[in-house]
Amino acid sequence: MGRADKFKDTLGQHMTPEPVAKLIASELRGPITSAVDLAVGDGALLLAIARRWRQASLHGIDCDELRIIRAKAADGRLRLRLGDGLSTRFPALRQVPRRRIAVVGNPPFLSTRATNENRAWLDAAFVGVESRHGVRRLEMAFLARALVEARKRQGLVAMLMPSPFASGVLYGPYRRALLAQYGVVKVISIEGTRFRDTEASTVLLIIDTALSSTTNVEISRYSPMEGKTVLHSGSVADDDRLDARYWSAAGLRLTGAPTLGECGVDVTRGRYCKADANRMKRAVLHTTDLCRVSGPSIELHPLSVDDFDDADVLAEAGDILLSRTGTRVRWEPVEVKRGVAPITDHVLRIRAPESVRRQVIESFMHPAFPAWLASVTKGVCVSVVTKQELLKMPLFAASTGLG
């Protein structure tokens, strides 16, 4: 990697591909009279907006002087300023009849120090959120400033964010606040391509700050080859994920069947990681053991629960085991036929009351289960399924809405 590339990674700079810039401009509800990009880079977003609304005033801020020079050379209409997009004074926008402004951006995706400035932007944008995760993420600070500045002017925000913002647990409090305090209009998962110089996958947020809450949101996926596919248009619950993967299987969550949680099913992960278990010389059941199983069931050690420590989470006959996370793991359920063994923290134990145990086992073997599981797993490099998602799984074997 050359010096320029290293510097670019340090800044978190990954330029917006032209198809994605065109998508953002096309999804904005206009006419846009002014657009501001707080991390303008090479100007791709402003240039796309300029092609759609030729009379719009276009403003940008960036800390990279070379990028500013290149962007100005691309279009002389761009009014650009060298500076920090979080602290540089917001551009003075012209007063025109029926003014409609848009704050747009593909901010740097970077971890950062929890500064007072970042806290101030997050506190102002996401009122009441106590999580501190956002103050350590640079893109969250840029989103927060965009929301604050746009709301002062009753404008729109169009912001590219890392895909975990739409699905991740750590981003949950911010997602809920966004839905409750602003009008989230569209959420578009960018698929089928990666930014040229990063492995990041992204989601596009279109937000109307003139609205005080979200009523209906359009959730879709986009790829340059296939275009845009709308998966949902309507209301969402405050704890719903907003990614395309989740909504692609929305029908499987609307079967009318009770959920595992409603049936009293217990989902528990192990307490030891594989490395710790090895150091303690403890034999544990790991995801690699599940991978070696050729069928839908497994037989464990013919021991008693009394042979294990109280701290162990034990898998016993009648339990269902499922990998919780990993890169190359078996994502198929395994029923314990006999025996007992402690599990690692990468394995989930699903234990059902006797009255519904057979239906629970049949639900995990149901043809609808693989598609449902694919929709709720999350992660870019490593896939993860959570206890909370599993407890929301419908009891497919009890549903009349599925064949």
Please count the other Cβ atoms lying within 10 Å of the Cβ belonging to residue 271.
Answer: 16
- Asked whether residue 350 falls in the same domain as residue 231, the answer is no
Give yes or no for a contact between 41 and 71, defined as CB atoms under 8 angstroms apart: yes
- Asked whether residue 346 falls in the same domain as residue 279, the answer is yes
First to last CA, the chain: 53
Please count the other Cβ atoms lying within 10 Å of the Cβ belonging to residue 160.
Answer: 27
- The number of folded domains in the chain is 2
- Asked whether residue 229 falls in the same domain as residue 279, the answer is no
* Cα–Cα distances in angstroms (integers) from residue 108 to residues 39, 63, 79, 143, in the given order: 8, 11, 21, 11
Which CATH number covers residue 288? 3.90.220.20
Please give the full DSSP string across 78-118, using - where no structure is assigned. Answer: EEEEES-TTTSPPPPPPP-TT--EEEEE-----B----HHH
255 inside domain: no
Q: Report the C-alpha gap between 224 and 327 in whole angstroms.
A: 27
- Angle in degrees, 0-180, between the axes of helices 44-52 and 18-27, rounded to the nearest 10: 50
Amino acid at 264: G
Please count the other Cβ atoms lying within 10 Å of the Cβ belonging to residue 316.
Answer: 14
pLDDT digits (tens, 9 = 90+) for 308-359: 777 789 999 999 999 888 777 778 889 999 989 899 999 999 999 999 999 9
The pLDDT value recorded for residue 97 is 59
- Asked whether residue 185 falls in the same domain as residue 102, the answer is yes
User: Is 165 or 383 the better-scoring residue by pLDDT?
Assistant: 165
Please count the other Cβ atoms lying within 10 Å of the Cβ belonging to residue 362.
Answer: 14
List strand residue ranges (DSSP E) for 156-300, in order.
156-162, 183-190, 202-208, 217-223, 227-234, 266-269, 297-299
101 inside domain: yes
256 inside domain: no
- Asked whether residue 171 falls in the same domain as residue 239, the answer is yes
pLDDT digits (tens, 9 = 90+) for 245-282: 999 988 888 778 899 999 999 999 988 888 888 888 87
At 103, list the tokens.
Answer: 């704050």
Q: Report the C-alpha gap between 44 and 48 in whole angstroms.
A: 6
pTM of the predicted structure, to 2 decimals: 0.81
- Asked whether residue 284 falls in the same domain as residue 230, the answer is no
pLDDT digits (tens, 9 = 90+) for 26-60: 999 989 999 999 999 889 999 999 999 999 999 99
pLDDT digits (tens, 9 = 90+) for 173-199: 999 999 999 999 999 999 865 554 444
Angle at 103 between CA 100 and CA 109, to 5 degrees: 165
The pLDDT value recorded for residue 380 is 58
The pLDDT value recorded for residue 129 is 94
- Asked whether residue 234 falls in the same domain as residue 277, the answer is no
The pLDDT value recorded for residue 96 is 63
Which CATH number covers residue 74? 3.40.50.150
Residue 179 Cα to chain centre, angstroms: 15
- Asked whether residue 219 falls in the same domain as residue 96, the answer is yes
Mean pLDDT of the chain: 87
294 inside domain: yes
By residue range, what is the domain housing residue 89?
3-248
- Asked whether residue 289 falls in the same domain as residue 230, the answer is no
Contacts 24+ apart (CB under 8 A), 117-126: 117/86, 117/87, 117/141, 118/86, 118/144, 121/86, 121/145, 121/148, 124/148, 126/173, 126/174, 126/177, 126/178, 126/181
- Asked whether residue 196 falls in the same domain as residue 293, the answer is no
- Asked whether residue 133 falls in the same domain as residue 39, the answer is yes
Q: Of 99, 62, 97, 101, whose CA–CA distance to 83 is shortest?
A: 62
The pLDDT value recorded for residue 26 is 95
Instruction: Report the relative pairing of strands 217-223 and 183-190 from DSSP bridges.
Output: parallel
258 inside domain: no
| Stated length of the chain | 403
- Asked whether residue 214 falls in the same domain as residue 351, the answer is no
The pLDDT value recorded for residue 306 is 62
